[in-house]
Structure 1
Amino acid sequence: MRLLKALPVLLLWACAPALHAQTTGPDAAETYSRLRITLETPEAMEKLAELGLPVDHGERGPGYFIGEFSGAEIKLMDGKFHYQVLIKDLEKYYEDRIREDLKQNPGLAGLGRFPCNFTTPANFNTGTFGGYLSLSEILAELDEMRALYPGLITVRQPLNGTTAQGRQLFYVRISDNADTDEDEPEALYTGLHHAREPMSAMNLIFFMHYILENYATDPEVQDIVDNTELYFIPCVNPDGYEYNRSTNPNGGGMWRKNRRNNGNGTYGVDLNRNYGFQWGYDNSGSSPTTSSDTYRGPSSFSEAETQMIRDFCLSRQFVTALNDHAYGNYLVLPWGYTNAIPESTLFNSIGDDLNNCNNYLVGNPYATVGYPVNGSSDDWMYGEQAAKGKIYAITPEIGTSSDGFWPAPSKIVSYCNAMMYTNLRMAYYARSLSCTASNIAVTPGPNSATVSWTAGTGSSSYNVRYRQIGAPAWTTLSTGSTSINLLGLAGPCAAYEVQVQSLCAGGVDGQFSSSLNFSTSGDPLPGSWAGLNVGSTGGFGSECYNSGGGSYAVTGGGALSSTNVDGLRFIYATLSGSGSITAKVNSLSPAANNKAGVMIRESLANNARSASSLIVRASSVWRSQFVRRTSTGANASITQPSTTTAPPYWVRITRSGNSFTAYRSSNGTSWTKVGSTTTIAMPGTAYIGLAVASGSTASSATASISNVSTTGAVMARIPGGPLGEQAQALEWSGFEGHAMPRIEVYPNPGTSQIHLKIQLEKPARLNTCLLDMLGGVVLQLPEQEAAAGEAFQLIEAPAGLPAGIYMVRCSADGQQAAIVKWVKR
């Protein structure tokens, strides 16, 4: 396209009643500045996000963050953060830099200086919007592509719907036989979710020109175009983009959101906080404040733009998506809402390939920008799997912090060049991932396991590889079936991971799946210890006990994070009064955010107060964590000291009254306190045990744990008795000066009546209740004054009480509590 041909279209836009974007309001006069903010604590980035500040773009270094903020946003920081103003008026800075750059660099030659250089397409041009293509010029580019290559690209088509200001979103499809919707893997590319990020659209236009111009001569490009369908939406936010052109026609506009009239003098919703998966999960990853640049909107998918993208995705079968943004030099993976990566092995492998030519930092928002994002396009595209298939969506953040949102026009080709390999490979992954095996399942035995899976599209045979957790080398087997037996495994309770790769038609092999963790089968849990999923775990959760070695293999899913303290597999017993639990974590599957250790919690219910001492895989390093929730349902505080060694590692949590302390040790002999002792108001009776989580409901973690020991009054079964026999409380010790009941229940198992025989050292007021296994009260008896010696009580089980395991709890003077298990037939 020549710019001269674009001018009539540009004039039509300028004369249209639209300059709808000229809507005025308090936001119109905002001045943006670039700041260097001092980060004095590890939680500082999240604190910035909780103020509603857009910290998803910028440069983060040791102890600082460089970002771009409006005057109103800067006022929110005053008195809370120390900062230095690097550039006072960014719009003027960008405009001046663009003007000078255009004078000095009128052409596009000689600008590709990245490790992988691609020839600049002959038909690629800069535009009249400060060197960038305006909205009308973007559409004219799509029209010209169709005119030049009618067999490879469709006429641009509008998505169903219009924006608040009456504009349409347009898409095109590139493929051989482009006008025919063929049964081929599909990839989606989007740009300009945020209106001040023009590089996100320029990159796509560059890529489209390249594959069209090189289709006839480049076998790799030809292979992609012949075997995939590539869909492009260069501008998701036309209202916001046009608003920036109306206020800053020479480039440099800082408007980010769309142009919804919020009805209170503020405008705009952040489209990348408006998608429906985990929308509004917390106020760190998005803001409920309408004036904030990260305002998430009044409800999920409240905006026409996100509705159109949603409906388009529901109408297609996209396998991959690149949702382009700027800036930061990042490749951002899901999840944004929580500090975990689904299918982490697979996503990290893809990310490490995509950054081969640009060296972008790969990771989820926590690992890249250092804070959460909720309601994002990537999380919804991957996470919503009921109405559509999962889409492996990734966000490139194009450009450095020094170039910012509006790089000098002479940098445009360099940045486009740097994204070419990423764009091409994501098209390849649309084919590879559509062939990848799914629904992998394992049925373990004592020394073997059967692995099965669902075939990917075009699969012909499979490689299956497995290893013990922590082992460096894989064992790989091949098969033409969709199941295989793994023989000669260690056992019992040996922890393994397994992956499956499809070998597919056309020479494109599927990716190895993310690891599925499992353990060879073992013995029942000892005594009256039991296993339970607490909170959201994605359905993951199991344990295996090796009575010969006294070791456990525990698999768990869920977050167990500062904002979601629940979400874990818990192997537990009951602790009355003060006590402790110590364990050795021998190994832990090494995916980021996997964690294992010991915990004391007030109940088995969600949102319970708790304290944990954990070993955590934090990105590429290992750390100890002291995690404590001091109020029911609140966020947790986390102390995370410097890097520890990899497992095996020892952990301990102690309770002394309402004081909780975490310890760590590399040898089980020399112990180091983790953080400070914390006060948590818990009832006299609590739950103590082992905790394992993966940081996500989309994946699991497996830990091998041994050398488990407890102190204090931990409930145990009568030695040697089978599970379900009469249970009693052993080893009771507690608060001095209070009566200490000892109880027996019979018959046990029983049906409707529970007889209690209670031994008291001195007179006391008894409080007795029947609990379910989540700690919920099934039946509460009236308080009873009892003399020293023997006392008797009768519990009538409620009519219709389901068969199962229950707990009888008896406390004396509100302090000491004895708990025994009762089995209802």
Structure 2
Amino acid sequence: MKLLVFLSLFAVCVFARKTFHGDQVLRLHPITEGQLNTLQNLEKQYELDFWTPVRGIGIPVDIRVPSGRLASFKAYLSTTGIHYAVFIDDVQNYINAERTEHPTPKALADFNYHVYHHFDEIQQWISDMAAAHPKLLTNSTVGTSYEGLKFSALTVTTKKGNPQFVINCGIHAREWISPATCMFSVKQLVTEYGTDPTITGLLDKVDFVFIPSSNPDGYQYTWSDDRMWRKTRTPSSARCTGVDPNRNWDANFGGPGASDMPCSDTYYGPYAFSEPCTLAQKKFVEGLPNPKMYIDVHSYSQLWMFPYGYKLDRPSNFDTLDKIANDSVAAIKVTHGKTYQSGQISTTIYVASGSTADYFYDNVTPCSFAAELRDEGQYGFLLPESEIQPTAEESLAAFQVMAQAIIDHKCDSY
């Protein structure tokens, strides 16, 4: 009854350009099975903005609560005995502080890698980079989104015949640090090739294929309308829009960890590959001559993971993937001292069906990964621009470790 009363109050709040004045992010701490079940019911059945999933007893859960419902939600938590702390006291203040206004770059020399960029700026940067570095970079169209936006891949390559390492960024629209990390990494690889012996050695033997923004409609919408938008922008019902593009793949599609509710942030869609952006990426990666490794880059929580996500069973090459992930987080730690956790997706973060990492593992390459970049919740999805460079630098250190595993033939078989 208490749950129904709370939900009836919450249902009248329609998340309506969207501002978040007074909204708070609460970090909840479930300590009993009953509290865990309460949060799981809220997560699965109702339209709450869970910034992190319900993972288990003693593992914190971050939820954004709108200002108009804070009092009722906190009162509800008190009746359940679930302890909480205010982690972000005003979401809009964090959005305002997240980035600086900057002029649209007129030329590649004006491009600022230390700020977040609109989708059209990212696309122009891809074209400009490829034109400026024709011996190292290849610009390829991945596909066209539901709203007609073409999105591209940028391949760093030195010779024909190299295996490919695919690095996908921005599949969840609000995770801005992901595209920024992709772009910064490309710049570093191009700048350091021929100077840095490690990067030079890797690029002589492995192609790095970056997809900087693989959910263009959603990403553009986070700039124009709703900073907290996660999904695509395809109509999914009379009232709700969008599909979670990382639940839309044919990897136990519609299974645990994905929702059949069109208004849910984890809605898997009407059928596998219903989203033009997911279908385009599938065809693009499968069309590469020799893809050996794939990683889907997300935020936040500081995790470096591998399949399976849709089941608890270990992959056949668990030891290999575990070693690569462990070595990657060790490289991250050395770079700026940040601690990332490594492990299997389903046991490290949650069970999730229909993901990129699982699809490519099952169908394309024996080395597939998913990463959650900075931070651990201080800023969450609203990581300030001052964090772009260190996040990208530590990520690139991990990417180099992973590329070396390709060279060492760790990804030749399952």
Determine if the alignment matches structure 1 residue 347 to structure 2 residue 325: no
Q: Which residue of 1 aligns with 2:271?
A: 299
| Change over 3 Å in CA distance of 1:51–1:298 after alignment to 2 | same
Q: How does 1:403-422 map to 2 (within 5 A)?
A: 403-422=379-398
- Structure 1 counterpart of 2:142: 159
Q: Determine the structure 2 residue equivalent to 1:86.
A: 86
Between the aligned partners of 1:33 and 1:306, the Cα distance in structure 2 is: 32
CA separation in 2, counterparts of 1:435 and 1:410? Answer: 35
Change (3 A) 1:437 1:306: closer
- Residues in 2 aligned to 1:275 and 1:201: alpha-carbon distance in whole angstroms: 21
User: Taking structure 1 as reference, are residues 377 and 218 closer, same or farther at Cα in structure 2, changes over 3 Å only?
Assistant: same
Matched, 1:280 2:254: yes
Contact residue 251 and residue 310 of structure 2 kept, 8 A: no
Cα distance in 2 for residues equivalent to 1:141 and 1:92: 29
Runs of 4+ in 1 over 6 A off after TM superposition: 58-62, 72-77
Matches of 1:418 and 1:290 in 2, distance apart? 36
1:95 is matched by which residue type in structure 2?
Answer: I
1:380 aligned to 2:359? yes
| 1:234 partner amino acid | P
Shift of 1:57: 3.7
Q: 1:268 aligns with which of 242, 267, 271?
A: 242
Task: Report the equivalent of 2:311.
Answer: 338
For residue 437 of structure 1, report the CA deviation from its aligned partner: 5.6
SS in structure 1 of the partner of residue 137 of structure 2: coil
Q: Out of 317, 321, 340, which is 1:360 matched to?
A: 340
Distance 2:132 2:119 in 1: 20
The one-letter code matched in structure 2 to 1:272 is: N
**CA-to-partner distance for each residue in 1:498-551, whole Å, 9 max, x for gaps?**
xxxxxxxxxxxxxxxxxxxxxxxxxxxxxxxxxxxxxxxxxxxxxxxxxxxxxx
Change (3 A) 1:55 1:376: farther
**Deviation (angstroms), 1:349:** 0.7
CA contact (8 A) 2:306 2:345 kept: yes
Superposition deviation, residue 347 in structure 1 = 1.2
Residue equivalent to 1:324: 297
Q: Paired residue for 2:153?
A: 171
Matched, 1:429 2:409: no
Q: In structure 2, what is the equivalent of residue 259 of structure 1?
A: 233
Q: Is the 8 A contact 1:185 1:434 kept in 2?
A: no
Please tell me the root mean square deviation across aligned C-alpha atoms, in Å: 3.1
**Out of 222, 230, 234, which is 2:200 matched to?**
222
CA contact (8 A) 1:321 1:391 kept: no
How far 1:431 moved relative to its partner? Answer: 2.7
Task: Decide whether the 8 Å contact of 1:340 with 1:364 is kept in 2.
Answer: no
Contact map agreement 1:259 1:267 (CA 8 A) in 2: yes
What is the CA distance between 1:391 and its match in structure 2? 4.3
Shift of 1:124: 6.6
Alpha-carbon distance change, 336 to 61 in structure 1, aligned in 2, over 3 angstroms: closer
**1:328-359, Cα deviation, whole Å (9 max, x unpaired):** 01112211111233122111111110101233
Q: Which has the larger radius of gyration?
A: 1
Which residue in the other structure is 1:132 paired with?
A: 116
Alpha-carbon contact 1:33-1:86 (below 8 Å) kept = yes
Q: For the Cα contact (< 8 Å) 1:35–1:83, is it kept in 2? A: no
SS for the counterpart of 1:270 is coil
| Post-superposition CA distance 1:155-191 (Å, at most 9, x none) | x22224x2221112211211114xxxx2221110111
* Larger relative strand fraction: 1
Corresponding residue SS for 1:150: coil
Amino acid at match of 1:368: T
Match of 1:196, SS state, is coil
1:203 to 173, 181, 200: 181
CA, structure 1 residues 58+403, in 2 after alignment: closer, same or farther (shift >3 Å)?
Answer: farther
**Conserved 8 A contact 1:58-1:327:** no
8 Å CA contact retained: 1:38, 1:81: no
Alpha carbons 2:240, 2:262 under 8 Å: kept: yes
Describe the shift of the 1:254–1:269 C-alpha distance in structure 2 as closer, same or farther (beyond 3 A). Answer: same
Find out whether 1:150 has 2:134 as its counterpart: yes
Q: Is the 8 A contact 1:319 1:433 kept in 2?
A: no
**Whole-Å separation in 1 of the counterparts to 2:88 and 2:98:** 17
Shift of 1:90: 5.2
Return the alpha-carbon distance in structure 2 between the equivalents of residues 73 and 427 of structure 1. 47
CA contact (8 A) 2:299 2:373 kept: yes
Distance 1:375 1:123 in 2: 39
| Residues 196/395 of structure 1: CA separation in 2 closer, same or farther (3 Å cut) | same
2:370 partner SS: strand
d(CA) in 2 for partners of 1:347, 1:411: 28
Matched, 1:309 2:281: yes
Q: 1:411 to 1:340 in 2, by over 3 A?
A: same
Is the contact made by 1:123 and 1:209 (CA closer than 8 Å) also made in structure 2?
no
Secondary structure at 2:277 match in 1: helix
TM-score by length of 2: 0.81
Matches within 5 A, 1:555-594: none
For residues 81 and 229 of structure 2, what CA distance do their matches in structure 1 show?
A: 24
In the superposition, relative to structure 1, how do residues 436 and 299 fare at CA in structure 2: closer, same or farther (>3 Å)? closer
Give the C-alpha shift of residue 274 in structure 1: 0.6
1:294–1:73: structure 2 CA closer, same or farther, 3 Å change rule?
Answer: farther
TM-score, scaled relative to structure 1:
0.42
Aligned pair 1:50/2:44, yes or no? yes
Give distance in 1, aligned partners of 2:155 and 2:69. Answer: 40
Of the three residues 66, 69, 72, the one matched with 2:64 is: 69
Amino acid at match of 1:97: A
Q: Percent identity?
A: 26
Query: How far 1:66 moved relative to its partner?
Result: 3.7
Q: Cα gap change, 1:273/1:83 in structure 2, threshold over 3 Å: closer, same or farther?
A: farther
CA distance 1:261–1:81, shift in 2 (3 Å): farther
8 A Cα contact 1:46 1:372, kept in partner? no
CA shift for structure 1 position 38: 2.5
Q: Is contact 1:286–1:296 with CA below 8 Å preserved after alignment?
A: yes
Query: Do the aligned residues in 2 keep the contact of 1:399 with 1:415 (CA within 8 Å)?
Result: yes
SS where residue 426 of structure 1 aligns? helix
Amino acid at match of 1:350: I
> How far apart are the structure 2 equivalents of 1:60 and 1:417?
29
Q: Which of 212, 225, 240 is the aligned partner of 2:218?
A: 240
Residue 251 of structure 2: SS of its match in structure 1? coil
Report the 3-state secondary structure (helix = DSSP H, G, I; strand = E; otherwise coil) of the residue aligned with 1:287.
coil
Moved more, 167-176 or 57-66: 57-66
Which fold has the larger relative contact order, with Cα–Cα distance below 8 Å and residues 6 or more apart in sequence? 2
Counterparts of 1:348 and 1:123 in 2: how far apart (Å)?
A: 41
Distance 1:231 1:332 in 2: 19
The letter for the 2-side match of 1:67 is D
Q: What amino acid is the match of 1:375?
A: G
Shift, 1:54, TM fit: 6.6
